[in-house]
Structure 1
């Protein structure tokens, strides 16, 4: 066992791991306790002397719990900001990908837009299908296959909206049509 572990009581690690809802309870309890030690209500309730005897501990609990709550809040906000940036980056990548579709990808996506198809059966073993699924352009809408490796796939709502506004992205160049 390391020297640091011998110095720290085990309950310190337990407090650090507490959920924010319990930390809020500790902060409220210790904060109200500190406040009651300084007002007449504490004397009326008969707890002013007990609070004053343990004011140091209540103060430490209040500072520690509010610090942990603040760190949870900062962590939660930073995760939210990261999620927004990741989503914007992913959406930009997805739109760039839709602007550079190959012939097979256009064949897969065209019926969704031009024929107003909501669901198509595609092979799960097809690399193009898997790539479109990985890019979150289509998604597998059923876990039950038909004909072995064929599953129902739907177009993501954002991709339907984008391709409906930009139908030219799904047209074959003239040299491929002839």
Structure 2
């Protein structure tokens, strides 16, 4: 066999997907390392004597394919986790260098116990925090009067709840945050309804009494 043709066939074999490679590894591994009674039951005892080197080569080839794919997948996972960790570390550093107006904006999320707030489109602070990927536009529906929805990123929400002092320096507000957090947890707080804002309905002074 021509060497170049053999290498070409080898490279084509390495393009096997995971499923055929796994099946090939199980089959050739069984023929190579299976017990004698199993080989006899399969009727492969005599046949295997003549093709054993090729079966061994097939096993090595399938094992190499599986090992290569596993290494690539593991490398991709490690690279993705490293990138995520590096990005989060940089963003956390950003939270430690907030301007006063940025702190005021982010403190609203904590104090109101909401992950989504409305801001005007011409609000530069919320736009800047969105550009820094601390906030994001959660809806494209809005207007110039009521504003547009901006949500806080999950990682920023968790980090600021662990370190509220980054955006709240007033001890009274910190105490209020602790109180509201406990209240929200106690009543099973649902996003969009603050339990401390629940008020009895105002009485209509123009409504006539029913006799």
Q: Could you say whether these structures have the same fold, taking a TM-score greater than 0.5 normalized by the shorter chain as the test? A: yes
Residues 1:163 and 2:160 aligned together: yes
Q: CA deviation at 1:71?
A: 1.9
Report the 3-state secondary structure (helix = DSSP H, G, I; strand = E; otherwise coil) of the residue aligned with 1:141: strand
Structure with greater helix percent: 1
| Residues 166 and 44 of structure 1: CA distance in aligned 2, closer, same or farther (over 3 Å) | closer
| Residues 65 and 125 of structure 1: CA distance in aligned 2, closer, same or farther (over 3 Å) | farther
| Residues 125 and 66 of structure 1: CA distance in aligned 2, closer, same or farther (over 3 Å) | farther
Aligned-pair RMSD on alpha carbons?
3.2
Counterpart CA distance in 2 for 1:10 and 1:128 is 60
- More moved, 56-65 vs 66-75: 66-75
2:141 to 139, 145, 153: 145
Counterpart CA distance in 1 for 2:9 and 2:157 is 54
Counterpart CA distance in 1 for 2:149 and 2:10 is 52
Larger Rg: 2
What does residue 29 of structure 1 align with?
27
Aligned pairs (5 A) from 1:44-59: 44-59=41-56
Residues 1:113 and 2:110 aligned together: yes
- More moved, 45-54 vs 22-31: 45-54
| Residues 99 and 14 of structure 1: CA distance in aligned 2, closer, same or farther (over 3 Å) | same
Q: How many residues align structurally? A: 166
Question: Is 1:110–1:170's contact at 8 Å kept on the other side of the alignment?
Answer: yes
Question: Is 1:103–1:172's contact at 8 Å kept on the other side of the alignment?
Answer: no
Q: CA deviation at 1:128?
A: 5.6
Report the 3-state secondary structure (helix = DSSP H, G, I; strand = E; otherwise coil) of the residue aligned with 2:102: helix
Per-residue CA distance 1:87-116 (angstroms, 9 max, x = gap): 322222111100111244334322211222
Structure 2 unaligned residues grouped into runs of 5+: 171-211
What does residue 174 of structure 2 align with?
none
Counterpart CA distance in 1 for 2:128 and 2:6 is 51
Counterpart CA distance in 1 for 2:48 and 2:121 is 67
Report the TM-score, using the length of structure 2 for normalisation. Answer: 0.62
Counterpart CA distance in 1 for 2:14 and 2:123 is 48
Question: Is 1:141–1:154's contact at 8 Å kept on the other side of the alignment?
Answer: yes
| Residues 31 and 81 of structure 1: CA distance in aligned 2, closer, same or farther (over 3 Å) | same
Counterpart CA distance in 2 for 1:69 and 1:116 is 49
Report the 3-state secondary structure (helix = DSSP H, G, I; strand = E; otherwise coil) of the residue aligned with 1:146: strand
Counterpart CA distance in 2 for 1:128 and 1:100 is 14
